[in-house]
Amino acid sequence: MSEEKLLEIKGLKQHFQVGRKSVVKAVDGLNFDIYKGETFGLVGESGCGKSTTGRTIIRLYEATDGEVLFKGENVQGKKSKSELKKFNQQMQMIFQDPYSSLNPRMTVMDIIAEGLDIHGLVKNDAERKEKVFELLETVGLNKDHATRYPHEFSGGQRQRLGIARALAVEPEFIIADEPISALDVSIQAQVVNLLKKLQAEKGLTYLFIAHDLSMVKYISDRIGVMYFGKLVELADSDELYKNPIHPYTKSLLSAIPLPDPDYERNRTRISYDPSQHDTSEEPEFREVRPNHWVLCTTKEFEAYKQELQD
């Protein structure tokens, strides 16, 4: 992982109008950076806003407020067709559901080659075919699969096709939006290992969105924990697991099962109660130890520091 910031999120908000008066603050003031070559894990329970964050970054949604800087340029400010086309080539997305994210009426050849065609990355049909064959081999499939349709594949194979489609335009940054949640446990590790292998080979940078903390730890360099549209904790992967500070992070970690019957029998689940927080002031993101940030008030900040010392 380099020290070059590839993506900078500054005060990002995504609010949705529900009816005439109600507003859902799906993303409410996020701030974080992603460095070139790293995997940044974004975790939280369903409905916390993590998938909305990914979709706003890649401009499937227009942000309500804030900035998304990709390689120093504001993504939200890109309006011309040529600017958007260039941006879409540099940033791709792997979607959660490998069943609905592939067009059932298109062959694998056309699904993977769609990006090549749009961006004019191949000169003729022979080169197009060769590139698709190469991509299929890269993700662990073979060229015979090119003439088939999505319904002829298993869930794990379809997700590999989704990865091949994302790789086709040779992006620098990939948003993986819960790419393994719809897959069998036996297949999940295969897909994650493939992503790690591709990152090492191609120098990719990932935003890995998931709710499975054990898998996020395995693939991520740093992890951000989201709760109701806000980032409540951010730290290096090992640091977050060894020294969780925010009560919500502790509750998530306490829910991870381990293949140890004795541990499971005596495991204590920690329930998170947001009403127990200090309400005397608006919480801020503060660094409680080097590169370990927590959303807290001044009073909570002092308590967390004392807890770490003890």
Tokens of 6: 């590839």
182 is a domain residue = yes
Q: How many helices (H) and strands (E) does the chain have?
A: 11, 12
Confidence of residue 1 (pLDDT cuts 50, 70, 90): low
Q: Report how far residue 87's alpha carbon sits from residue 64's, in angstroms, rounded to the nearest whole number.
A: 20
H or E element, residue 7: strand 5-18
61 is a domain residue = yes
Tokens of 141: 């499939």
Q: Report how far residue 70's alpha carbon sits from residue 57's, in angstroms, rounded to the nearest whole number.
A: 9
Could you tell me the CA-to-CA distances from 300 to 184, 274, 296 in Å, in that order?
40, 13, 6
Confidence of residue 83 (pLDDT cuts 50, 70, 90): confident
Name the residue with tokens 């999505």: 150
**Domain containing 103 — which CATH number?**
3.40.50.300
Query: Residue 179: is its pLDDT beyond 80?
Result: yes
pLDDT in tens, 52-63: 999 999 999 999
152 is a domain residue = yes
Burial annotation 85-120 (CB, 10 A radius, 16+ → b, else e): eebbbebbbbbbbbeebbeeeebbbebbbebbeeee
Query: Residue 79: is its pLDDT beyond 80?
Result: no
How many domains does the structure of the chain reveal? 1
Mean pLDDT over 194-199 rounds to: 93
E strands, 163-308, in order: 173-177, 205-210, 222-227, 230-236, 284-289, 292-296
Question: The domain containing residue 36 runs over which residues?
Answer: 5-243
269 is a domain residue = no
255 is a domain residue = no
DSSP 8-state code for residue 192: H
Mean pLDDT over 7-21 rounds to: 92
DSSP 8-state code for residue 19: T
204 is a domain residue = yes
- Give the pairing of strands 173-177 and 205-210: parallel
Q: Report how far residue 284's alpha carbon sits from residue 266's, in angstroms, rounded to the nearest whole number.
A: 35
Mean pLDDT over 11-28 rounds to: 92
Confidence of residue 184 (pLDDT cuts 50, 70, 90): confident
Confidence of residue 309 (pLDDT cuts 50, 70, 90): confident
Confidence of residue 230 (pLDDT cuts 50, 70, 90): very high
257 is a domain residue = no
298 is a domain residue = no
pLDDT in tens, 85-102: 899 999 999 988 878 889
Residues 6+ apart with CB under 8 A from 17: 23
